[in-house]
Amino acid sequence: MLLFLSVPQPRPPGARTRAGAARAARWRRRQWLRLQQLRRLRRLLRGLRGRPGAGGRRRGRMALCGPAAGAASLPSELIVHIFSFLPAPDRLRASASCSHWRECLFYPALWPQLRVCLRVSPAEQPRLEFLMRKCGWFVRELRVEFAAENYLSGGGGPGGGGADPGTGGEEVEAVQLSSRWLEVLRTYLELVLCVLVSIRNNRNLQKFSLFGDISVLQQQGNLSNTYLSKVDPDGKKIKQIQQLFEEILSNSRQLKWLSCGFMLEIVTPTSLSSLSNSIANTMEHLSLLDNNIPGNSTLITTVELERFVNLRSLALDFCDFTAEMARVLSDSNHVPLQRLSLLAHNVSVMHKSLDNMPNDEHWKALSRRSPSLRVYIMAFDIKSDDMLKILKPSIPLERIHFDSYITCVSGAIVDLISRQYDKFLTHFILMNDVIDTSGFPDLSDNRNEDPLVLLAWRCTKLSLLAIHGYTVWAHNLIAIARLRGSNLKVLEVTEESIDFDQGELADQDVDPVHNLIEQVSLGLGQPWHAVMDIESLGVFTEPNRHFYREMQSFSEDI
């Protein structure tokens, strides 16, 4: 039995042998160099703090610019280490201190992911070019969102405007809007080219997401093609963009996540064929959303989907998700699918048929293969008859978002959802922007119970409820808050959607608005107020962007 009474001091390797004498000398030399580096670093840090008793605070501040011990004298490794603890905006500010710090700003390890939200404005182009030139060749995760600046500032789409009739103002306004949107499209194409050119040779790219909020043009149907033909009459830029996108896919070696949503004329039905089999076999997320694809064209076919055997999350147009695709995803050769996001758009439903969509047996087979599968559906101006076809009982529906400009959701649809998906539903969003002078539709008409109250009662996992453009009675809103309590994390109802009974308004002793706020707050266990400014919430004003971002987080939450 051995007893260690003391811990021996470290000695150079091979010090007791004659053959290790050289190695021991080199070891001592390295130890001495490390000690010198530590002493030098200690002196630098002491200089940054300032020496006590030698000029006070002023001397300490001036030590930053001193020739012997200044910020520019720090080793590059130490600067990069300091930058690693700072968020991106603070890194940019810190890099302005001197040229040496600026050189260390774009060290590849500091920028493994880059998320950029751009206004489609000429002012953004030089900034984007600089950023992509520095980071585009090595960034591993790139997420870019484009937003039309004129649309977001309230200009409306082509053909909109509020000029005074009878004075020729409408024609002038139409010309101004036309020229403005031509400039938006022209800038949009330049910014997209800048992004794609900078990453065309990036073989480290693992996650690539693009979103283009040019939805106003897309909602006008073939009007977008008219504007594109004016901006790019011979189609050279569009062709270049499509070729660059395919080149990025063909050059990728580590791509796991590919997401492209509402990007005008970028993804084509042949784009995915550029992916090698090895990359397609290891892809974990695929999202291809574009409601501007004409006719019966689809961005992905069933044959192409068979290559993506490791897919865990998928986002497609609902009309593109066929029964054959459900069969492929249910096959034992494929990894069980975890998340499925589907966009049901009235434009797609008009041009494509719902006859090929999965039936209830296909959904049952898919759920058996993937027990943890959850589905997210956004229905954009879908008629009630079509919704009855879409909502199969065996869909594991967790989130649903209704957004209407032409048609309204009926109480029967809400009641069907609460009965069929009570075990899964967590998010329910009901939006209506239909202009109707007679008031908002009331889902509880000719019913003993309000469908929204039944939804809150049956769906015990409900955590988010957002309503605008439908009448919500105050006593029903209180009932919803009491039924779900603190489990209902988000309850967003616009002020204009709330209505009161005549009895509540006639009671002079109680302020109905104050009583509503108090009772709902008590039911939820947290302070609550109705949404006063609808423009402040993206779910109301930008449905495409909201769906895309929710789809991203929904797919990442596996």
Output the DSSP codes for 61-89. Answer: HHTTB-SSSBGGGS-HHHHHHHHTTS-HH
Which residues make beta-bridge pairs with 146? Answer: 118, 212
In 3D space, the residue among 474, 454, 470 whose CA is nearest the CA of residue 462 turns out to be 454
Tell me which residues of the chain have a pLDDT lower than 70.
Answer: 1-20, 37-38, 40-71, 148-177, 214-226, 291-296, 434-438, 504-508, 536-538
Backbone φ, ψ for residue 463 (5° rounding)? -125, -15
In 3D space, the residue among 75, 155, 73 whose CA is nearest the CA of residue 121 turns out to be 155
Beta strands in 349-495 (DSSP E): 374-380, 397-404, 427-432, 464-468, 472-473, 490-493
CA 499 – CA 423 distance, rounded (Å): 30
Name the token pair of 196: 């794609």
CA 51 – CA 48 distance, rounded (Å): 9
Give the CA count within 13 Å in the CB-facing half-sphere of 201: 3
Buried b (16+ CB within 10 A) or exposed e, 156-192: bbbeebeeeeeeeeeeebeeebeebbebbbbbbbbbb
In 3D space, the residue among 191, 181, 172 whose CA is nearest the CA of residue 226 turns out to be 181
CA 404 – CA 378 distance, rounded (Å): 11
Q: Provide the pLDDT for residue 289.
A: 86
Torsion 70-76-78-83 (CA) sign:
positive
Is the distance from CB of 552 to CB of 259 less than 8 angstroms?
yes
Q: Provide the pLDDT for residue 45.
A: 59
Residue with tokens 């810190």: 94
Which residues make beta-bridge pairs with 499? Answer: 473
- Residues in CB range of 551: below 8 A, 6 or more apart: 261, 287, 315, 341, 376
Q: What is the dihedral of CA 169, 174, 179, 183, to 10 degrees?
A: 120
CA 451 – CA 459 distance, rounded (Å): 12
Is the distance from CB of 106 to CB of 135 less than 8 angstroms?
yes
- According to DSSP H, which parts of 199-315 are helical? 215-219, 223-231, 236-251, 277-282, 302-305
Which H or E run includes 418?
helix 411-420
Is the distance from CB of 115 to CB of 103 less than 8 angstroms?
no
Q: Provide the pLDDT for residue 281.
A: 95
CA 266 – CA 243 distance, rounded (Å): 9
Q: Provide the pLDDT for residue 264.
A: 77
Backbone φ, ψ for residue 20 (5° rounding)? -95, 5
Longest dimension (CA), the chain: 108
Residue with tokens 């959303």: 289
Pairing of strands 207-213, 141-147: parallel
Q: Provide the pLDDT for residue 558.
A: 76
Name the token pair of 111: 């920028």
- Radius of gyration of the chain from Cα atoms? 30
Output the pTM of the full model. Answer: 0.81
Name the token pair of 11: 């000695």
Q: Provide the pLDDT for residue 365.
A: 95
How many CB atoms sit inside 10 A of residue 225's CB? 15
